[in-house]
Structure 1
Amino acid sequence: MDLHQCEVREVHGVGAQKAVELNSMGIFTVMDLLEYVPFRYEDYTVRDLASVKDGDRVTVQGTIIGEPVLQRYSGKSRLSCKVMVDSFLLTAVWFNRHFLKDRLRPQQEIVLTGKWDARRRQMSVSDSEFPGQAGSNTGTIQPVYSVTASMTQKWMRKVIAQALTQYSAMIPEVLPASITGKYGFLPRSKALALIHTPSGVEEGKQARRRMVYEELFLFQLKLQAYRAVTRSKADGVKQQVDLPAVRAFVRALPFQLTESQKKVVSEILHDMQEPYAMNRLLQGDVGAGKTVVAAIGLYATVKAGYQGALMVPTEILAEQHMRSLSRMFEPYGLQVAMLTGSSTDRQRRDLLASLQMGLIDVLVGTHALIQEDVYFRQLGLVVTDEQHRFGVNQRSILRRKGMNPDVLTMTATPIPRTLAITAFGDMDVSTLRELPKGRKPIKTYAVAHGLLERVLGFIQREVGAGRQAYVICPLIEESDKLDVQNAIDVHIQLQQHFPDMKIGLLHGRMSAAEKDAIMHEFKEGRVATLVSTTVIEVGVDVPNATLMVIYDADRFGLSQLHQLRGRVGRGEHQSYCVLIADPKTEVGKERMKAMTETTDGFEIARRDLELRGPGDFFGTKQSGLPEFRIADMMADFEIMEQARDDAAELVSDSTFWTGAAYMPLRAYLERAHIFDSEVLD
């Protein structure tokens, strides 16, 4: 029997209604149920209070001393009684358990589980039972599952135990003997049984280790197999790159490439000449020179007889790239065009005809690039900027417009290896670490709200010297939930403080046209200070802006603060970032400390990952990060690396694709649709 096909209703005790509830939790088959592992355990092993720290959850056994006391207030109740545990006389407290009063009798033995308050010698009881009672948890380790509101832990434990009783003999082994032997893993059926009902901490650890490895290995196997299948098809664009022409283009640039840029350009050109489609992530710190690397790639694809596309998240960014690429390509006769949502019907019609005839070499644009009526004559290279703003589907659509073109994805969010290896395991990663020569590090200061007058004086000084400033606020309007400055209020305050200064306002509720209009005014210097929410975070280049002021800076994530700081420091003048914050939490204090100590985006990203964890790192659900059931990307990173190496070694071995020992893994890849063409684009 295939437990992946066997419906969960086949488990005794799962009726029609419970099956629907399980389905809503993503549990459809018996295998889904068996693999629905607990997110933590409750240890009911009786312990000695002398070894317990204040605030710990603990199970103890003692004797009730005296009568229980019941207090009622506002429809709630507090039940308490004295319990002697070893040499400790403690007060046990139950909230809203008034019905227990008659069961608590002096001199009766009782087992209590709850939070220990050492100072008050008091325990807030979550569970209590009497020794010898049927179904006792005392001395056991109980799993705790994520369940719906109408489902109890007790029912979930019971139904999983029943599934194990019915089907444990049919649980197939997935990992080959070469791997289970290498690491001394428990058999899969035993590991699954023990992860649900460990008889001790050590057994639980062994079971978890096996299941964590399996989960990470299967994830990496999908990525590595997909790469292998894609490359074996060799159905990409094998471009005949004119290396002498590319070298001449690079020599003519008004600046020298950094060593980092030279290395990355070499990696990209190498991929473009291979018969499979490039899928490369170019990550670099703010201002590290990703755009010029992309320009070299686009120039190379045009010289090889193909067209290039550059897709960006906003119109203003599209215009910025359009101008810089036109400036670089004009001496070589390359035709650059732009397509955005603002293009008129006539412009759009003419442009699409030119594109299809091959008269346009490089097309820059927003999501408009991937609409159905946009056709290239021969698309060779697609560059997407700020990739976490684009969904996987959008990249797939654009890719299908050409002959499976090479794809270069750029991001200014430096991604620690921990995440790159996970979220982008199917991509090759290139990294720009050094900044171009002559870039002055941005001086960063963290100040309290009480020093606002001095900050306003700083704005006056920079604007008086002919420079421009950004002032960033977390919210658009007042909020009862957060005591933070908001953009509209700050804009009014600054207008009153600087009556002779042109101060602009930019926020997410403005239309695209309004945002573009205010950004144009700022770029052209007609607005001296721009009050904004975080909508200016990505990519906009205003070299004359030298001051970044961020209100309530402790409310922002570290990587977001670093991105905002990167909006200044793009010109010849010294730039500054002032963080206004009175952090109340340790995380807030750590953020301010990190920002003032380093301007290295990779170090910032590492600290951000430590402070926030991987799930929040990109700030959106669009990050592409997988949701693991058991594994923790941070804690289990070494296992992730090992699993990736093992998976890569396995798929490179021809016996993996034919040998009987690997049939369960090939079946898993079939179920994951790895052999379909566009699944993991």
Structure 2
Amino acid sequence: MRPEILFPLFAPVTSLKGVGPRVAPMLERLAGPIVRDVLFLKPHSIVRRTPATLASARDGEVMTFEVVIEQHQKPRVSSQPWRIRVSDPTGFMTLVFFGRFADQLETRHPAGARRLISGKVGDDKFGRQMVHPDYMVDPDKAEEIPELEPIYPATEGLPARRVRTFVLEALERAPMLPEWQDAAWKAREHFPAWREALERLHAPESEADLSPLSAHARRLAYDELLAHQLAMAMRKAERRREPAAKIAASEVAEKVRGDLPFRFTGAQDRALADIRADFADGERMSRLIQGDVGSGKTVVAMCAMADVAAGGGQSALMAPTEILARQHFDTIAGPLLAHGIGVVLLTGRDKGKPRAEKLAGLASGETQVAVGTHALFQDDVAFHRLQLAVIDEQHRFGVAERQRLQAKGEAVHLVAMSATPIPRTLELTVYGDLDVSRIDEKPPGRTPVATRAVPMGRIAEVEARLRSVVAEGAQAFWICPLVSESEVSDLAAAERRAADLTERIGPGVGLVHGKMPAAAKDAVMAEFAEGRLSVLVATTVVEVGVNVPNATIMVIEQAERFGLAQLHQLRGRVGRGRQESACVLLYDPPLSETAQKRLDILRRTDDGFVIAEKDLELRGGGDALGLRQSGFPDYVFADPFLHRELIAAAGDDARLILARDPELKSERGQALNVLSELFDWKAGMALKDAG
């Protein structure tokens, strides 16, 4: 139940003065649908309005002048602007106005009138001018022109100044809320009160006040992080209170593990031990196995499935695409079937009698493990006793999809797997409601991938080398960049590259890109995986986890356009067999300093966790897109890089709060309820919830 004190902030934006049917959609696009979203809109810069004389006007600067209206210069045709010549004792300037209301200017500002004008000064062939002054008022209304003015995001039809009036009205509606911060922490960090922090946000006195590291900005960031950590800690505690089947470690699983042609690494042993400890607790498990491409996550999950089968239960392993599901099936089916554990592959392609037989085996309990895609949670799929759901690349599934699979049984344990290493400092922002196991050791026998950077001018040499290794039977990936800003031209470049390589290498060149239907994409990927294609030209849709041991060369075109973590993920597509593999990073010189560092790091290490930390350092704050693509929450005030020390503090605070006051009944607990409702992480938890 939302506290009444927050009602004004959760009113629709249409309750703000001047926000009617025309303005509301524009304001909602900029901020959001409710008053709170407008209140949380941050200024991105400030304008200092310097009083000056016309003789001292400087091109490109925002300045304020007291002038006399000399003359109105009416346009000869409607496409021309209305111009007003103004002067002061030191010189002249022209004011320029476009639009159909310009003819009202003569009435409002007649010749001979004295005015204060403020705006950006410009110079062009007509001399010194100011296009659409920000302010044009009588000198006795000088207080209407602020000396310092925060500038807000704007959109076509809704200028920044109008947005600011809505923000200031939202600020007026912001109530004084009870203090939810711990008093000692608040004093130590020199945090202002919540409302005071907002007032400073919207009335900056200098550039320093715009910094995310200012006291008021850190206060607001910490509030947001604490609300998020509290929401995730409460979900975690709620799941832990839910009883689930106790599952014992089994001899069968040890036999399955003993049959493998390699020994588990220490990290794999620890991950399996973590799962087994969760199984023994009798509480519903929600655990993430985080590990690099090829680190052996699937075989750890396979041993957990063997434990479940030995106890009479069933498991389901769900992957985002058919090719990945088939790959997982190929990995686990043999070892499990060898010990009497029935395994089926269930995808959208299964039809008729074969599908009916698979469904019957799952419903009767005769089949203990199902591997598949979204087909696993369709209505006609019934399990006899589903106890474990394993979800690969869990961020690729919506919360409803994950829950539909888990709903096939009672209090189903969850193991999520991710091949995208997250920096340890940021783990809580993405996985705060999960227990995390890290597989941070490479299996023995993996051949390091030789990585080198080559300028695009030497592409002919790379193509020639590719032709010779393909002739010897090797396979290669060729990655073309694809970014949303220039998707059409990038796609055309990928198609040209595929045609070019076909001409130089022969017919065994395939192309996959994000605009292709899923079935067509899967078909090309399958051809490559089965060795019927020698070279796969792809935009960055190459699936995480696709296993083609025969692929030994990865060429990444315009590597400087990719993030470090993304380059590492792509490189992980090769070096999966025992043959020597290479990754060629083609770049357009000259490289920026950051791009140079990125390529150097990639050449020096293949440890995904080290690379994730370095990637964060190189991104710094502000690369919100890159972080969001990695599954990070869409924070308003918190910057995952600049505020990373606050993330850990908020996580500790949330755990301590719930340990002392699980029902949030104390005075601080009630204030924290207000904080939770203010940020309302429940509404967005579908992005964060793993089960």
TM-score between the two structures when normalised by the length of structure 1: 0.82
Q: Deviations over 1:61-110 (max 9, x none)?
A: 78999x999999995779999999xxxx999997767989999999x998
Q: In structure 2, how many angstroms separate the alpha carbons of the residues matched to 1:450 and 1:200?
A: 47
The match for 1:312 is 319
Q: In structure 2, how many angstroms separate the alpha carbons of the residues matched to 1:675 and 1:235?
A: 26
| Map 1:327-338 → 2, pairs under 5 A | 327-338=334-345
Does residue 530 (structure 1) correspond to residue 509 (structure 2)? The answer is: no
Cα distance 1:474–1:93, how it changes in 2: closer, same or farther (>3 A)? Answer: farther
| Counterpart AA for 2:576 | R
Choose which of 365, 382, 394 in structure 1 pairs with 2:401. Answer: 394
Cα distance 1:439–1:212, how it changes in 2: closer, same or farther (>3 A)? Answer: same
| Counterpart AA for 1:378 | R
| Map 1:481-496 → 2, pairs under 5 A | 482=489, 486-496=493-503
Q: In structure 1, how many angstroms separate the alpha carbons of the residues matched to 2:42 and 2:338?
A: 63
The match for 1:460 is 467
Q: In structure 2, how many angstroms separate the alpha carbons of the residues matched to 1:539 and 1:180?
A: 45
| Counterpart AA for 1:529 | V
The match for 2:479 is 472
Contact 2:252 2:339 in 1 (8 A): no
Residue 483 of structure 1 deviates from its aligned partner by 6.5
Choose which of 39, 44, 50 in structure 2 pairs with 1:40. Answer: 44
Residue 141 of structure 1 deviates from its aligned partner by 3.5
Does residue 445 (structure 1) correspond to residue 449 (structure 2)? The answer is: no
The match for 2:247 is 239
Contact 1:294 1:383 in 2 (8 A): yes
Cα distance 1:161–1:509, how it changes in 2: closer, same or farther (>3 A)? Answer: closer
Cα distance 1:512–1:91, how it changes in 2: closer, same or farther (>3 A)? Answer: same
| Map 1:538-549 → 2, pairs under 5 A | 538-549=544-555
Cα distance 1:611–1:399, how it changes in 2: closer, same or farther (>3 A)? Answer: same
Q: In structure 2, how many angstroms separate the alpha carbons of the residues matched to 1:10 and 1:486?
A: 46
Contact 2:223 2:675 in 1 (8 A): no
| Map 1:407-426 → 2, pairs under 5 A | 407-426=414-433
* Number of residue-to-residue matches in the alignment: 659
Cα distance 1:673–1:109, how it changes in 2: closer, same or farther (>3 A)? Answer: closer
SS state at 1:547 partner: strand
| Counterpart AA for 1:206 | A
Cα distance 1:474–1:92, how it changes in 2: closer, same or farther (>3 A)? Answer: farther
Residue 31 of structure 1 deviates from its aligned partner by 4.9
SS state at 2:545 partner: coil
Q: Deviations over 1:192-216 (max 9, x none)?
A: 3332224566777333232222122
The match for 1:218 is 227
Q: In structure 2, how many angstroms separate the alpha carbons of the residues matched to 1:271 and 1:227?
A: 13
Contact 1:537 1:563 in 2 (8 A): no
The match for 1:362 is 369
Q: Deviations over 1:146-191 (max 9, x none)?
A: 45544444444334444555x45x4322515545455443233333
The match for 1:51 is none
Cα distance 1:558–1:184, how it changes in 2: closer, same or farther (>3 A)? Answer: closer
Residue 394 of structure 1 deviates from its aligned partner by 1.0
The match for 2:176 is 171
Residue 370 of structure 1 deviates from its aligned partner by 1.1
Residue 426 of structure 1 deviates from its aligned partner by 1.1
Does 271-280 or 511-520 show the bigger shift? 511-520
| Counterpart AA for 1:543 | P
Residue 546 of structure 1 deviates from its aligned partner by 1.0
Does residue 185 (structure 1) correspond to residue 194 (structure 2)? The answer is: no
Cα distance 1:639–1:348, how it changes in 2: closer, same or farther (>3 A)? Answer: same
Unaligned stretches of 5+ in structure 1?
Answer: 49-53
Cα distance 1:646–1:71, how it changes in 2: closer, same or farther (>3 A)? Answer: farther
Residue 115 of structure 1 deviates from its aligned partner by 8.7
Contact 1:8 1:19 in 2 (8 A): no
SS state at 1:342 partner: coil
Cα distance 1:251–1:386, how it changes in 2: closer, same or farther (>3 A)? Answer: same
| Map 1:21-36 → 2, pairs under 5 A | 21=25, 31=36, 33=38, 35-36=39-40
Contact 1:485 1:552 in 2 (8 A): no
Cα distance 1:384–1:184, how it changes in 2: closer, same or farther (>3 A)? Answer: same
| Counterpart AA for 1:352 | L
SS state at 1:305 partner: coil
SS state at 2:4 partner: coil
SS state at 1:635 partner: coil
Does 18-27 or 250-259 show the bigger shift? 18-27
Q: Deviations over 1:36-65 (max 9, x none)?
A: 3323241426499xxxxx99x865678999
Q: In structure 2, how many angstroms separate the alpha carbons of the residues matched to 1:484 and 1:90?
A: 55
Does residue 288 (structure 1) correspond to residue 295 (structure 2)? The answer is: yes
Does 544-553 or 175-184 show the bigger shift? 175-184
Cα distance 1:71–1:330, how it changes in 2: closer, same or farther (>3 A)? Answer: farther
Cα distance 1:323–1:31, how it changes in 2: closer, same or farther (>3 A)? Answer: closer
The match for 1:5 is 7
| Counterpart AA for 1:235 | P
Cα distance 1:456–1:180, how it changes in 2: closer, same or farther (>3 A)? Answer: closer
Q: Deviations over 1:454-484 (max 9, x none)?
A: 11221133224332222233469xx896367
Does 431-440 or 460-469 show the bigger shift? 460-469
Q: In structure 2, how many angstroms separate the alpha carbons of the residues matched to 1:377 and 1:420?
A: 36
TM-score between the two structures when normalised by the length of structure 2: 0.81
Residue 357 of structure 1 deviates from its aligned partner by 0.9
Cα distance 1:561–1:116, how it changes in 2: closer, same or farther (>3 A)? Answer: farther
Cα distance 1:635–1:92, how it changes in 2: closer, same or farther (>3 A)? Answer: farther
Does 67-76 or 181-190 show the bigger shift? 67-76
| Counterpart AA for 1:2 | E
Contact 1:446 1:592 in 2 (8 A): yes
Q: In structure 1, how many angstroms separate the alpha carbons of the residues matched to 2:91 and 2:363?
A: 82
| Counterpart AA for 1:239 | I
Q: In structure 1, how many angstroms separate the alpha carbons of the residues matched to 2:383 and 2:471?
A: 49
SS state at 1:531 partner: strand
Supply the RMSD in Å over aligned alpha carbons.
4.5
| Counterpart AA for 1:568 | V
Residue 11 of structure 1 deviates from its aligned partner by 6.5
| Map 1:63-74 → 2, pairs under 5 A | none
Q: Deviations over 1:129-159 (max 9, x none)?
A: 7895625476643333345544444444334
Residue 443 of structure 1 deviates from its aligned partner by 1.0
Q: In structure 2, how many angstroms separate the alpha carbons of the residues matched to 1:591 and 1:124?
A: 44
Cα distance 1:184–1:351, how it changes in 2: closer, same or farther (>3 A)? Answer: same
Residue 432 of structure 1 deviates from its aligned partner by 1.7
Does 68-77 or 443-452 show the bigger shift? 68-77
Q: In structure 2, how many angstroms separate the alpha carbons of the residues matched to 1:677 and 1:70?
A: 59
Residue 425 of structure 1 deviates from its aligned partner by 1.6
Q: In structure 2, how many angstroms separate the alpha carbons of the residues matched to 1:520 and 1:443?
A: 26
